[in-house]
Amino acid sequence: MSLRNLPTVPLSGRQGLQSTITDSVLQRWNPDLKVASSSENENSISILDPIGESWMYDGVTAKRIAAALRNIGEKDVVVSINSPGGDFFEGLAIYNLLREHKAKVTVKVLGLAASSASIIAMAADEIQIGRAAFFMIHNTWVCACGDRHAFREVSDWLEPFDAAAVSIYHARTSILEKELEAQLDKETWINGESAVEQGFADALLAADEAINEPTQVSRKPSPNAAQKELDILLVRLNIPKSKRRSLCAALKGSTSGAAPNGTSGAAVHPGVKDLLDKINSI
């Protein structure tokens, strides 16, 4: 069990809801930030992607974390986080798993622990955060469809989960619950030094524990970052995972044969053109 007195959170699901990632998070998340190889060991778990199984590329699930913890056994574990969040309820499930681990849990926030990823981080016995890293906390974000009655039901159903988030942050920080509620209402970003000052973290992370994979300095995203950002945008369009896979594969195919020197000699797959038109309309 956790060495700290942290609350457990009961889980429940609701059909017809889809978690999402806000624009502010998408703009500030750097998917290329990784754990430095010198900091990795056999008792490490990396959470470096969106939370939940709906994402195409390596979404982090409670099932995956549970398997990793079983493999590690009753030993101290280090969890490295650089995640934009995602499925809040999957994040709660992962929080409960880490909270119940029978040895010490150390979380290292490399770049970003946003939304549900910040909840996961709170389960640790010790939290370390990079000086330039951030927590982002806000009320539970979901997408829903229905009439006004359905939305009232969803709003009432979500309220206890926002209260659960407040209780988790309060247990870590001792910040007054009313103040935390106000921070969640307005979406609050907390940098490394402020996180330590407020009690969201215990210490600053050593500067050499995270690396930024691309070696070139460029305004253009790396293929890895572009692929993950594209998937998040496609999820917002309610495009099924199988369709997203085929469109991304087609997009790769349409660019692999491009004419040299930046000329536009390559034909664009019709599906890719429709995809780009949809993204441009967001």
Q: Do both 111 and 153 map to the same domain?
A: yes
Domain that holds residue 32: 18-212
227 found inside a domain: no
Count the domains in the chain.
Answer: 2
Cα dist. 138→11, 12, 107, 237 in Å? 19, 20, 20, 22
Question: What integer pLDDT is reported at residue 260 of this predicted model?
Answer: 41
217 found inside a domain: no
Percentage of the chain with pLDDT > 90? Answer: 46
Q: Do both 61 and 160 map to the same domain?
A: yes
Question: What integer pLDDT is reported at residue 263 of this predicted model?
Answer: 42
Q: Which of 212, 229, 260 is the last residue of a domain?
A: 212
Q: Quote the CA–CA distance of 30 and 210 in Å, as a whole number.
A: 12
Q: Do both 60 and 190 map to the same domain?
A: yes
224 found inside a domain: no
Q: Do both 157 and 245 map to the same domain?
A: no
| Pairing of β 203-204 and β 126-129 | parallel
Nearest to 208 by CA among 133, 106, 135, 130: 130
Residues 6+ apart with CB under 8 A from 26: 84, 229, 232
User: Predicted confidence band at 216 (pLDDT cuts at 50, 70, 90)?
Assistant: very low
Of 154-168, 207-221, 223-237, the poorest mean pLDDT is in 207-221
5 found inside a domain: no
Question: What integer pLDDT is reported at residue 232 of this predicted model?
Answer: 72
pTM, full prediction: 0.77
8 found inside a domain: no
pLDDT at position 258 over 50: no
Q: Do both 168 and 244 map to the same domain?
A: no
Residues 85-139 have pLDDT tens digits of 988 889 999 999 999 999 999 999 999 999 999 999 999 999 999 999 999 999 9
User: Predicted confidence band at 57 (pLDDT cuts at 50, 70, 90)?
Assistant: low
Residues 174-204 have pLDDT tens digits of 899 999 999 999 999 999 999 999 999 999 9
CATH number at residue 40: 3.90.226.10
6 found inside a domain: no
How many Cβ atoms are within 10 Å of 144's Cβ, its own excluded?
15
Q: Do both 29 and 124 map to the same domain?
A: yes
Question: What mean pLDDT comes out for the span 219-243?
Answer: 69
Question: What integer pLDDT is reported at residue 18 of this predicted model?
Answer: 65
Q: Do both 28 and 162 map to the same domain?
A: yes
229 found inside a domain: no
Q: Do both 197 and 249 map to the same domain?
A: no
Sign of CA dihedral 121, 127, 128, 132: positive
Mean pLDDT across the chain: 81
Q: Do both 97 and 197 map to the same domain?
A: yes
**89: which 2 tokens?**
């309820």
Q: Which residue has the higher pLDDT, 122 or 250?
A: 122
pLDDT at position 227 over 80: no
Question: What integer pLDDT is reported at residue 253 of this predicted model?
Answer: 61
Q: In this structure, which amino acid lies at residue 106? A: T
Q: Do both 147 and 265 map to the same domain?
A: no
**49: which 2 tokens?**
């992607």
1 found inside a domain: no
Q: Do both 244 and 203 map to the same domain?
A: no
Question: What integer pLDDT is reported at residue 215 of this predicted model?
Answer: 43
Residues 155-174 have pLDDT tens digits of 888 888 899 999 999 999 98
User: Predicted confidence band at 261 (pLDDT cuts at 50, 70, 90)?
Assistant: very low
Q: Do both 179 and 251 map to the same domain?
A: no
